[in-house]
Structure 1
Amino acid sequence: MPLTIHDIKNAQQRIAPFIKKTPILSSTLLNKWLGHEVFFKAECMQKIGAFKVRGACNTVSWLIENNIRPKKLIANSSGNHAQAVAYAARQFNIPSTIYMPKYASKVKIQATKAYGAHVDLSENRIITDEKVKKASEEEGTYWIHPFNNVKVIAGQGTAAYEALHQVNDIDAVFAPCGGGGLLSGTLIAARALASRAKVIGAEPLNANDAAESLRTGSIQKLTSTPDTLADGAMTMSVGDITFEYLKQLDDFYEVPEENIIYWTQWLTHLLKIHIEPTSAMAMEAAVQWLKKQKSKKKVVLVLSGGNIDHLVQKKIWNTNHLDITPNRHL
């Protein structure tokens, strides 16, 4: 059955004890340069530093609520979902094992361990995904998929659900796309709470499996690990559940690495917060969409996370983009 706003409302109540209600931020200078009103849902200020905690906590809470207590929780992730499941497992004293690729952010690997999870590292995401699938066959083990799970999607949708109660009369909502969980939940929330608002996604051009899937009408899978700084969007393919929601989006943008870096620098500077490159993709999508509008618009962007290790920081700031202001960049 398709998810509804009631699933997201229930998720919001379920996870309330475990998460933060993150703030809405804006930049007067950015709005002046763009000629539009842009609001940011700062999930980089969330528990574990990313929206992923919403889906993980909703899933585990739902299991406990329905008297299903796994002996072990497992997950596969390149970072933020790993931390989220480890955090959620700790809240209910359930052992957890997280399967991660070795190239995952060192900060995210360390944080996952700090939340009490056992971390199993593999050479690449393909091996990681194979390991978690095999481990899920063990009795008493529950696999919390990073996006292709209805409870995860409902939990992720609570970010937009909150945002659309914090900001009224929105013309469009933007969110990044990895496996599509956040974007699917955002679509469900927006269709119910702001029916006239467009819902628009973004992913790295270098990891554009979702865009290819939307173009062809069938799920396309990457054949190798993508070369992108947006590690939150390095999934090999979208899921069969999320794909059905992605097909309902109003628009979708593929963002080059240079633009991801550009907006990571500028949003960090303008909003005075840490944001991951994955979050910055939504800003480039918003800019491209706003350029086509003939009247002033009011939009919300979900800043998905803010966990960045020093190696990624070096790559982001290797070249200074702050000498080209957004009004000149456009």
Structure 2
Amino acid sequence: MMTLDSIKQAQQRIAPYINKTPIVQSSLLNDWLGHRIYFKAECLQKIGAFKARGGCNAVAHLLEQGKQPKRIVANSSGNHAQAIAWAARQFNIPATIYMPSNVSKVKAQATASYGADIELLPTRDAVDTAVQNAAEDPDVYWIPPYNHNDVIAGQGTAAFEAVNELNNVDAVFAPCGGGGLISGSYIATKGLSPHTRVFGVEPLNANDAAESLRSGTIQSLKSAPDTLADGARTPSVGSITFEYLKQLDGFYEADEASIIYWTQWLTHLLKLTIEPTSAMTMFGVVEWLKTQSSAKEVVVILTGGNLDADSRRKLWQQDALTQLPSLNL
């Protein structure tokens, strides 16, 4: 198991390349909920998502160890693809990214714009098989989207920055797809502040992590999940990340109506472009706050802001802003 030192080393390694993103609040939301919510705005990160941290750390640490692959490969449905393409370009290494054909168009275009070669395949299984085959070449290095210690350590630097900057944080919430971010957030948060609780949130329609936690073994989705939270459509958590998920203080499953509701409200209140995968975390925040008897200070990792036109249309088909946020939702 990794420690806080892994996060600190990652922070030092990637500092010259990434943005130290701001922490923002909404006074209205704080008043309505009766608690103070701090949002770590990773939607303002390089490539528009926290994934830049893990991708950069993985590539930088590889070179730090004297390893120089001829090509880097990755498999991703979006933000990790951009992160590896961007990170590889920072260090002048060619990259190939394997992506499912239903990937967000804006994420695929952005990945290509960073100079990576893109290979679109019909299913997630085909993507995973293709990247594994490519990685058999000894001159090729594969950086998975979450089940990789350097990726996890890099992702954990977001929570590290937030908890380090704030005092007396009661809880940290982050979305869970494959579990890299929430694993890194757990390591960073508990290392800095052992009393602070750490919670994960995933879509109810893609709840493989919750099913895994309930069963005690890693469960995989049987088919492509129908959720707007495209950053959490991973078929299963990883063997590494699952060990951290089992240590979390709690885990929540957000339905699609709640994901849409909080995406609209956070976009409105914070004046930021916010992905549904980021916003769904507020479902868990509200569920937890309902059980609290005193005012709490909560950090929410806003993971990204890369939205294509189709997702925007689906998000705004109905107006959710007529119902004010409250703990009675």
Q: Shorter-normalised TM-score: what interval?
A: over 0.9
Question: Is 2:311 the partner of 1:288?
Answer: no
Counterpart-to-counterpart distance in 1, 2:253 and 2:131 = 29
- What residue identity is the alignment partner of 1:169? N
Q: CA deviation at 1:327?
A: 2.6
Cα deviation 1:89-142 (Å, max 9, x = unaligned): 001110000000111110000000000000000112111111111111112100
- What residue identity is the alignment partner of 1:198? R
- What residue identity is the alignment partner of 1:13? Q
Partner of 2:184: 185
Partner of 1:106: 105
Question: Is 2:121 the partner of 1:122?
Answer: yes
Partner of 2:149: 150
Counterpart-to-counterpart distance in 2, 1:135 and 1:171 = 44
Partner of 1:15: 14
**1:54-203 pair list within 5 angstroms:** 54-203=53-202
Q: Is the 8 A contact 2:99 2:120 kept in 1?
A: yes
Question: Is 2:51 the partner of 1:52?
Answer: yes
Counterpart-to-counterpart distance in 2, 1:329 and 1:308 = 29
Partner of 1:43: 42
Q: Is the 8 A contact 2:100 2:124 kept in 1?
A: yes
Counterpart-to-counterpart distance in 2, 1:318 and 1:18 = 38
Question: Partner of 2:136: helix, strand, or coil?
Answer: coil
Q: CA deviation at 1:329?
A: 5.9
Which consecutive residues of structure 2, in runs of 5 or more, have no partner in the other structure?
none
Cα deviation 1:133-157 (Å, max 9, x = unaligned): 1111112100000000000000000
Counterpart-to-counterpart distance in 1, 2:259 and 2:328 = 13
Q: Structure 1 residue runs of 4+, over 2 Å off?
A: 327-330
**1:236-247 pair list within 5 angstroms:** 236-247=235-246
Question: Is 2:207 the partner of 1:208?
Answer: yes
Q: Is the 8 A contact 1:42 1:303 kept in 2?
A: yes
Cα deviation 1:29-76 (Å, max 9, x = unaligned): 000000000000000000000000000100100011111011100000
Question: Is 2:270 the partner of 1:265?
Answer: no
Question: Partner of 2:326: helix, strand, or coil?
Answer: helix
Question: Partner of 2:39: helix, strand, or coil?
Answer: strand
- What residue identity is the alignment partner of 1:57? C
Partner of 1:224: 223
- What residue identity is the alignment partner of 2:8? K
- What residue identity is the alignment partner of 1:207? A
RMSD, matched Cα: 0.8
Counterpart-to-counterpart distance in 1, 2:120 and 2:141 = 19
Q: Is the 8 A contact 2:160 2:185 kept in 1?
A: yes
Q: CA deviation at 1:328?
A: 8.0
Counterpart-to-counterpart distance in 1, 2:327 and 2:138 = 58
Q: Is the 8 A contact 1:279 1:303 kept in 2?
A: yes
Counterpart-to-counterpart distance in 2, 1:72 and 1:180 = 26
Q: Is the 8 A contact 1:179 1:238 kept in 2?
A: yes
Counterpart-to-counterpart distance in 1, 2:238 and 2:209 = 10
Question: Partner of 1:258: helix, strand, or coil?
Answer: helix
Counterpart-to-counterpart distance in 2, 1:281 and 1:268 = 12
Counterpart-to-counterpart distance in 2, 1:17 and 1:329 = 44
- What residue identity is the alignment partner of 2:169? I
Partner of 1:256: 255
- What residue identity is the alignment partner of 2:270? L
Counterpart-to-counterpart distance in 2, 1:143 and 1:93 = 16
Counterpart-to-counterpart distance in 2, 1:70 and 1:215 = 40
Question: Partner of 1:116: helix, strand, or coil?
Answer: coil
Counterpart-to-counterpart distance in 2, 1:101 and 1:328 = 38
Counterpart-to-counterpart distance in 2, 1:278 and 1:327 = 20
Question: Partner of 1:301: helix, strand, or coil?
Answer: strand
Counterpart-to-counterpart distance in 2, 1:208 and 1:217 = 14
- What residue identity is the alignment partner of 2:276? P
Counterpart-to-counterpart distance in 2, 1:189 and 1:281 = 22
What percentage of residue pairs aligned between the two structures are identical? 62
Q: Is the 8 A contact 1:24 1:166 kept in 2?
A: no
Q: Is the 8 A contact 2:286 2:327 kept in 1?
A: no
